[in-house]
Amino acid sequence: MAVMPDVQAQAQMQDSKEKPVVVFIATGGTIAMKIDPVTKGVVPAISGDDLMQSVPDASKYARIEVNNFSKMSANYITNDWWARLTKLVEQTLARPEVAGVVVAQGTDTMEETAYWLDLTVKSSKPVVLIGAQRNASSPDFDGPRNLLNAIRIAVTPEARDKGVMVAMNNEINAARSVTKMHTAAVETFQGGNYGWLGEVWDDKVVFSRAPLRRMHIALTTESFPVVHIFPMYAGADGSFIRYAVDNGTRGIVVQAVGMGNMNVSMFEAVKYALSKGVPVVVASRVPNGRTYPLYGFDGGGKTTFDAGAVMSGDLSAQKSKILLTLMLQGGRADREAIRKAFEN
């Protein structure tokens, strides 16, 4: 006697085939860690596949593919690591059945990875970065919620053309403006004066705005220029800037104070770098606001700008380093091109 197919099972299979694909790229971080019973320290312990087991509801929204890219992103992140991730994300998004990509990594450098990908990945499809502030041994582990929310964002039509986003604690932030503001709180990622792009509710994903200040810089090399960040602080003497210039650095970011001010010693070192053809970008250690050539004393933002440095605007020092690195790898070392990129 012929066996009749299970109609409900067939319907479920068909429904699954019609769902979009979301690719989950796991790169390590606290979201993939547990407490080691011997050392009592938090260490890498679970894979991307393990994480997916913690969010069975994901299948309601998409077919999930897992790529275990790396185990501990904080140790591995370099320009080369980012370049490999860019290539993987672009290849993945080029597949017509893929609706979007979710990347999990450590929160300490997540804002940098988000901005790098926002600059280098060219696609209208969403890329959503997530992590966790609490490790997988914690009873209130925040990783599963962030992962499920990111998958829901990735298949939401309104998420297209929003660039790379960071989705933590039900909040969606843009790659350019997002910053980690607290070492341990789950509400650590904030967009500063710009606020969220949107938020995730139990029933839907809601966007309130779109990021306007975006650009694309193609990767043109596998060998990236060396760019360093040097902070301004009481007693800074600029000696490390001079050392870096004499030892081959291709670009310098000064994390200045206020709107872009520094002491005379740092200012003299900046002029030395500029005299050697090394571009200098001046950022601020203040989380909100922008650098601006206002103060005219030696080391003030205006004198540094007039000497040839570029103001970072509202970009942090770490994001300024990324933008300057990508400009230099693309062969754009002249001040005017760099200035326009930072003013974009």
Helix (H/G/I), strand (E/B), else coil: 66:
strand
The average pLDDT across 108-129 equals: 97
- pLDDT beyond 90 at 2: no
Q: Quick one: pLDDT band at residue 1, thresholds 50, 70, 90? A: very low
Superfamily of domain 19-207: L-asparaginase, N-terminal domain (3.40.50.1170)
Strands 33-35 and 42-44, by their bridges, are: antiparallel
- pLDDT beyond 80 at 75: no
Q: Residue holding tokens 């069975």?
A: 56
Question: CA torsion sign, 130 to 102 to 117 to 74?
Answer: positive
The whole-angstrom separation of Cα 269 and Cα 31 is: 41
- pLDDT beyond 90 at 13: no
Q: Residue holding tokens 């080691």?
A: 36
The phi, psi pair for 186, rounded to 5°, reads -70, -25
pLDDT at res. 16: 57
Q: Which has more confidence, 7 or 199?
A: 199
The average pLDDT across 188-198 equals: 94
The whole-angstrom separation of Cα 34 and Cα 36 is: 6
The whole-angstrom separation of Cα 185 and Cα 206 is: 23
CATH architecture, domain 227-343: 3-Layer(aba) Sandwich (3.40)
Q: Quick one: pLDDT band at residue 222, thresholds 50, 70, 90? A: confident
Q: What is the pLDDT of residues 286-308, one digit of tens each?
A: 999 999 999 999 999 999 999 99
The least confident of 62-76, 205-219, 224-238 is 62-76
Return the C-alpha torsion angle 25, 30, 36, 41, nearest 10.
Answer: 150
Q: What residue ranges of the chain are covered by domains with CATH 3.40.50.1170?
A: 19-207
The average pLDDT across 79-94 equals: 97
The average pLDDT across 163-188 equals: 97
E strand or H helix at 93, and its extent? helix 79-93
Contacts of 94 (CB under 8 A, 6+ apart): 123
Q: What pairs with residue 168 in β-bridges?
A: 171
Q: With pLDDT > 90 as the criterion, what percentage of the chain qualifies? A: 90
- CA end-to-end span of the chain, whole Å? 71
- pLDDT beyond 90 at 278: yes
Q: What residue ranges of the chain are covered by domains with CATH 3.40.50.40?
A: 227-343
Q: Which has more confidence, 273 or 333?
A: 273
E strand or H helix at 218, and its extent? none
- pLDDT, the chain, mean: 93
Question: Which residues are annotated as catalytic?
Answer: 30
Helix (H/G/I), strand (E/B), else coil: 88:
helix
Q: Give Cα 317 to chain centroid, integer Å.
A: 13
